[in-house]
Structures are given as structure tokens and as C-alpha cells.
A = this chain, B = another copy of it.
Amino acid sequence: MARKHILHMLTPLKHMSPFDVNMALDAGFDAVVPYVDVGLGEVTGLVQDAIFSRPPDAGVDTGIFIAGKDASLALDMFDAARKAMVPPFQVSVFADPAGSFTTAAAMVAKVEKALEKKFERGLKDTRIAVFGATGVVGFCTAVIAAREGAGVTLVGHDGIERVKQIAAEIKNRFNIAVDAADGSSDARKTKLVEASEVILACAKAGVQVVSKAQL
């Protein structure tokens, strides 16, 4: 009997995401087990509990998945999980809160490809406005794009306060500077669109962030 692929799915939220469960099973895991309402302080114990019951060479078949809707918390949990390893007993760890890491990476990659194809340039110094920047996908997109050298502005649909805090968090955690802007009115949004070369819409499904007229 081949060794089973097991995924322990950790979320700080009340419920595991059915989206993530589907993805994990479709990716080939034989068994997925949810652990909900997991605090950062519980990660070490859960991970160490997972690593000693299979031989060291089974680590690659045993996965820890970190879910949730908060990128910073997910990164902290990811770090805690990695530090909990006791080589040669190690397991795979993967974080993707609300699919944001993969979604953001794909979004930035698509933009990079389009820039290259249409304008023969890269992300470097490209002026990018991230609408819907208060969400986890916007957060990750901003970080990845800024890391690639883009000039990123986080646009807040409810004013500048929250996006300013997010910019500060990005500065603090990744040492990357991004701007914050107030996008709470149509006039303000139009101005931001005019000042940008690329607009990334990261708002919730069903929300129109910019009208056709503003483009």
C-alpha cells in the first residue's frame, strides 16, 4: 500500500474554507483534516505532534496547510511551523490564506507578462494602484509587486486610514515602502487612475471598484 498523502489544515478562523479543502483534495491529498480556531501559540504543538508519528522520509507526504484570511498572521504561523521542525523529522508546510498568496502571485505574474509583451518593459518603476487594498489579496499583491520594483499605491475605498496602517505593516514586516491613498469618492478614484499605469482590482467578488468612464 502506497503511503497516504495527509494534509493537516490549520485555520485561525471558526471554519476551515471549503475552497481550500476542495483544492487540497483535487491536488491529490488522500486525507485532509481540519483544525479550526487555531491560535498562533498552538502551531508549534500541533506541528510537533504531526512530525513524530511517521518516519522521516514520510515528511514530504505529510503536509501542514495554513489557511485563514490574514496574511500577516499566516506568515507568523508559517514561521512558527518551520521553527517547530526537529530534523530529520520534518513535514511540508504551505501557507495560502484565502488563496491570497497564489492569487496575488498569479496576478502580478500576469501583469509582468503583459507589460513585457505589449510595452517591452518590466514591473520596475511601474506605477501600480491596488484597489481593494484592505483585503488579503490586495495586501499580498502590493508586497509582491513592490518587491519587484513597482511603485505601489494602496487605495482605500473607505478613506486613507486603513490603507495607511497596511502600508505601515508592509514597511515594518518586509521593509518595503508603498504609498496609501484615499479612494473614497469617484473624483479621487479618477485622479488615482490617471496617475497610474497599472490598476489591480482586488476587491470582493461583486464590487465594482472603477467604472468604465473612469478608465
Contact = CB atoms under 8 A, between A and B. Distances in A.
A84 to B, nearest CB: 11
Q: How large is the interface on A (under 10, 10 to 19, 20 to 34, 35 or more residues)?
A: 35 or more
Q: Can you tell how many copies of this chain the complex includes?
A: 3
Interface in A106-163: none
A4 interface: yes
Interface in A74-111: none
A15 B42 contact: yes
Interface stretch (A19-27, A184-192, A195-203): A19-27
Interface in A2-38: 3-4, 6, 8, 14-23, 25-26, 28, 30-35, 37-38
Contacts of A32: 31, 33
A28 B1 contact: yes
A52 B99 CA distance: 11
A66 to B, nearest CB: 13
DSSP majority for the A interface? mixed
Contacts of A205: 48
A166 interface: no
A46 interface: yes
A211 interface: no
A2 to B, nearest CB: 11
Nearest to A20: B53
A4 B31 CA distance: 11
B22 A54 contact: yes
A1 B52 CA distance: 30
Q: Which 9 A/B pairs are nearest by Cβ-Cβ distance?
A: A18-B50, A22-B53, A19-B53, A19-B49, A18-B49, A8-B18, A4-B25, A23-B53, A15-B35
Given A8-B18, A18-B53, 8 more contacts: A4-B26, A15-B38, A15-B42, A16-B35, A19-B52, A21-B50, A25-B30, A31-B32
